[in-house]
């Protein structure tokens, strides 16, 4: 792992940013580079994952049907869109992160965002958030199936499973 410390932070402009780069071999995906930036002063964080090859656009669809499917490896590049039809969509933006996780990790990230909405002033938003949280919990318990779709125009994303359909 390569580490550069005491770099200027793009947010607070203090020399408190640490840059990290790590190369990792992911079975059935290949070599990828994981980059991150973390500032100890303002808590700025940015991360990304890139393959070692020029990427072509990819789209993966996975039917999550059991608890075992929750452990399927997911590589999400910062330019990827993550969709769980009829539940949510995570679109990339200027502070979008890339990461390596599993299906359960993706669902827990979605759950955390929805939990912030369950105390909203609007009763319709609260009701929708509570229903979405129930759905996610049933999926995490292996009781309800869902589809997980990842689209990446840079090709830096994948769902690493024979069950995943690549388009």
* pLDDT, tens digit, 9 for 90 and up, residues 33-43: 999 999 999 99
- Confidence class of residue 164 from pLDDT cuts 50, 70 and 90? very high
- What is 54-167's CATH number, 3.90.1300.10, 1.10.3720.10, 3.40.225.10, 2.60.120.1040? 2.60.120.1040
Residues of the chain with CATH 2.60.120.1040: 54-167
What order do you get walking across the sheet with 17-26 strand by strand? 2-7, 17-26, 30-39, 45-51
Residues 88 and 104: their CA atoms lie apart, in Å, by 15
Quick one: average pLDDT of 141-145? 93
Say how many C-beta atoms besides its own lie within 10 A of residue 62's C-beta: 20
Residues of the chain with CATH 2.20.25: 1-53
Q: Which CATH architecture has domain 1-53?
A: Single Sheet (2.20)
User: pTM to 2 decimals?
Assistant: 0.81
Helix or strand (DSSP H, E) at 139? helix 123-140
Task: Take residue 25 and report the two structure tokens written for it.
Answer: 């071999």
């Amino acid at each position: 792992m390569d580490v550069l410390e005491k770099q200027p932070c793009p947010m607070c402009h203090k020399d408190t940013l640490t840059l990290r780069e790590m190369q990792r071999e992911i079975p059935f995906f290949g070599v990828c580079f994981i980059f991150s930036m973390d500032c100890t002063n303002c808590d700025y964080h940015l991360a990304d994952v890139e393959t070692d090859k020029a990427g072509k656009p990819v789209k993966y669809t996975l039917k999550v049907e059991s608890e075992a499917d929750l452990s399927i490896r997911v590589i999400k590049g910062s330019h990827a869109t993550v969709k769980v039809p009829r539940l949510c969509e995570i679109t990339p933006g200027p502070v979008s992160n890339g990461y390596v996780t599993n299906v359960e990790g993706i669902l827990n990230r979605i759950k955390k965002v929805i939990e912030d909405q369950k105390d909203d002033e609007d009763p319709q938003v609260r009701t929708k958030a509570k229903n979405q949280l129930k759905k996610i919990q049933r999926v995490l318990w292996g009781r309800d199936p869902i589809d997980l779709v990842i689209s990446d125009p840079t090709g830096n994303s994948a769902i690493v499973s024979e069950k995943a359909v690549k388009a």
